[in-house]
Structure 1
Amino acid sequence: MSVTGVVRDTHRTAGKLGGSLIASIVLGYVLTVACARLLPPDQYATFVTFWGLLMGLGSALSPLEQELSRQSAVAALTGGLAGRGALRAVATAAAVAAVFGLALFVPPVNDRLFPGSGELALVVLAGGVAFACQFGIRGLLIGQHQVKHFAWLVVAEPAVRALVLGLLVIATAYQLVPLALAVAAGSFAWLLFVRQGWRLLDVRAEGDGWPVTVRRMLMLLLGAALTASVITGYPALVGLLAPGGDRDRLGAVFAALVIARLPLTLVGPVQSLAVPFVVRLSASEAGRHRLRRVLLLGTSASLALAAFGALVGLLLGPWAVGFVYGAGYQVDGWAVAGLVWSSVLLVPMQLLTAVLVARAQARRVLITWTVVAATASVLLLAVPGDTVFRAVVALAAAPMTGLAVVLAFVLVNSSARAMRDSDETAE
């Protein structure tokens, strides 16, 4: 397919996904706002920690979706389907999710993350393993251009959560643990799409063996776990590295963070769409030139948008948080500005790392997110001031360092050699 054809086809696919992504954002906001309204700020701080761990685990597993979309796209170039390598990737991700969930049962960790509600660890464990299956099916669907089923699955996840939440409200069972179960229910939406996903597998095709699959997936999952530590899992990171502070103030800041970060949880489908786009576009010199120009323009536009968003957050953020969550949630304008700045910059970061995934350069993905997580962690420990101030400063600064690193990786290695210079072949 020509460069123009690839771009036109990707535009059509993105257009079809636009409605489902908007619906997912709306349903996600309904869920988070409803839970904040149903719980007092101190309990909501615990709920957001749970939310951050489960959604952070989901974000950590999202490279599985990108990896399977890459396998499907590569196979589709020759008219084939993803093989047993896809099943090995799903099994690896599910095992990692199970290990993470079991680690939450360790008493010191459990007591610090879920004071008085230790059973939330079991909910995270079950939801995390289900997420692995869900991302596997989503990757197969988008890699083979099954846009309609993919879009329905994207919407089904938050829709199931909203449905269960509504049933709980009707039954007046909206305590902390039942609300957590409603959140985890969305992780099982993949059960509705098992048949469509299985049709996109060719179990007779060998694919990558266990050593290559496990090594690549562990690097991608570790990089994504570091990603999650500064997106959905950030409240848990703050609780571990900078505990204490006013729980009501922290609850209000975390509530604002949920609003600012929620769209980022939906960048995953766009990343998975970007992977086959990069694979096909990188097949020609003209396509690689087009890709480089798009990346530079997109990054520049993101910096301008981040500055504008920070200004809006400074001026209107406190009012918006109070309006959405209620008078009990008070947050300063400078804090909202920092959260918005960080959230906008993380979008180009995630899309640029998708380019590295398309090139099978998992090690570079890992390095990028290690820099981001390390920057946030060091600042949380070293910056003077209260917990809220340290949390906002660390979150605003970390994506700036990561963006510089990933942009260098992508642009320096943007020649034809990039598609051949995977981490496996480079060793």
Structure 2
Amino acid sequence: MIPNSLPGLTFAALVAAPAAASAANGIEPRTPVDWPDATACLTVVDRQQSAMVHMPYSVPFEDVDVTVDEVADSRTHQFIAFCRDHSREEFLPIWLTWSDVEAAAAKMLVDPLAVEDDEVLETSSVWKDCWFPITPHDARRPITFAEAKKGVDWDTTALPAGAYVVQGYTWEPAVNIYAQRPGVVHVVDGPDLAAVGPAAAVTTTLDFTFAEDTYTIEGCTRALPGSTLSVHWSITGAGVLDWKLYTEDVPIDGEAFTLPFLPPPEASGRTVALRVDVTDPMQRTFSAYPPNLLTVLPGSAGDTTSDTTAGCNPEAAFVADPCDTGGDGSTGDPGDPTTAATSAATSDGSSGDMADSTGTGGSSSSAGPALTPDSSGCSCDATPPAGLAWASLLVLGLRRRRRRDQAAAPS
């Protein structure tokens, strides 16, 4: 193992990483995995029926122009399952293995002595026993339309039964990102819910509200009868989330839930993280988090005339097309806080297949994190440093223009 000595990864370190990298792709936006909007909130995989799950995905454009100063398999995708969800204020390690660190170091893309154990999944004190590769490390997928059209076939045979969150991982060091698949996958062995812990996911994507208005948290859950829900919240920005209980012991009625959240007075003008816990009668708990952090604006929606921009990818500086411009809650439009959530559709566990893009089964790479990658992966605030974001968008525009010019040039 490579020795390491620097403090854990921070958003500032992630943003600064490309400046230290020698590759020509240093500040180019990374190309995330695009998950279908119709992804089911809850997918049940009953291994008594089939252990295989098919997950469709797409890519915004092809990205295969690897430069000589990048690692050989740069600009590729890999898929990973995690045994728990995470807040967009919590970072996922951007390195999967130390062999990845060594490969990047060989190209002078990272100083291996500056990488901490907690920045690598296989040695992270938080994640090392909680991640499971869906596709092989040595068979990462090229970012092409043809490859994405195949989707991902996931064999869950060797997994412990339980709830899983799936991440699409873009390998392009020194900055690697995640794009979280919406919803949760519940891997079970038969219909007995006493044999497995609960599962839950939050589908509400709206990332702002007003201090005097009730925010609606929607999602799905699957748990033993008698299970209950609780909501926790925390102001972000202090480095460590200080979770406070908002409401508890809310009975579960079916697989879909709707929970009201009226921001406490001290949250006004701040960004907060939310968490929904489902706890069953056996005291087993699974925590679910919204795809985005929530900005609480002073006042009420009924008395403001100011414009609000929402829906930006938490890893906007390194994700292609960071801000959505669609017209509903799933694509970045603030929409109506009472209707912005996705319905909690459930796939048929007997088929063993994930719901497809037609709506029968299932970026912020962001949480990106988020991080909304959090696309999911880098769990950071939804607004990157302005200069870096603009620089990244400019680079993206130049790259696309260059590709169009090349395509139009006579052969």
Normalised by the length of structure 1, the TM-score is 0.29
Higher helix share: 1
Normalised by the length of structure 2, the TM-score is 0.30
